[in-house]
Amino acid sequence: MSLIIAYALTIVGLIFAGVHDFAGMGIFLTAIGVVITLVHGLRAKYKPVALIAALAVHAVLWIVPNFSPELVGKLIGAAIGIPIAAALVIGVLLPLVQSMFGSEQPAAPARPEQQEAPGEFDITALPDIVYDSNNQQWQRYGVYGDHVLYRSADGQEVNVYNAQISGKSANTDKGSLHWY
């Protein structure tokens, strides 16, 4: 169990003790937090000095608000502000700086640019397996210039030409073929 839970119980105990003037509940919640800290420290085999320091945090949480309520406000602001600032740095500034100075990783090799007329499809990009309207598989047999040849399991052949392709399907003489 995390020590954050134990310290949170102590802080909730402080709120109960200070705001509701119900010191008994505050002391009870702090005692639970101290026990959790003690159990966590013993299970994690803290050295005696580290265990005493972890337990002393509970005492500090009770003492500081009595002497300096403003300091408590600053500590709470820091506890909220530091994670938000870290998230902004990691999520916004770091990618911005990386984009300004470039990435060390080599770019993936680009596919050679082919000048295609509007409406044309690169037939070499067709998948190895396509399906007909009955979801029967057709295996690509080869690419021959302006068309791709597919064969079905029962030996039928179909040619798919560029002009037959629309999106992820092609209308052929054997019917409509589609792919994913």
**Cβ atoms of 30 and 13 closer than 8 Å:** yes
Does the pLDDT of residue 65 top 80, yes or no? no
Sheet hosting strand 137-144, strand order edge to edge: 157-161, 147-152, 137-144, 129-131, 175-178, 169-172, 165-166
The residue with greater pLDDT, 96 or 67, is 96
The pLDDT of residue 107: 55
* Residue ranges per structural domain of the chain: 3-100, 123-178
Cβ atoms within 10 Å, residue 177: 22
Would the pTM of this model clear 0.75, i.e. be above it? no
Give the residue-averaged pLDDT of 157-163: 91
Q: State the CB neighbour count (10 A cutoff) for residue 101.
A: 8
Across 99-110, average pLDDT: 60
Cβ-based neighbour number of residue 147 at 10 Å: 18
pLDDT range class, residue 114, cuts 50, 70, 90: very low
Tokens of 123: 């037939």
pLDDT over 50 at 15, yes or no:
yes
Given this model, what pLDDT does residue 129 score?
A: 93
Whether the predicted pLDDT of 66 surpasses 50 = yes
Mean pLDDT in residue range 69-75: 71
Look at 43 and 71; give whichever has higher pLDDT. Answer: 43
Q: What's the mean per-residue pLDDT of the chain?
A: 81
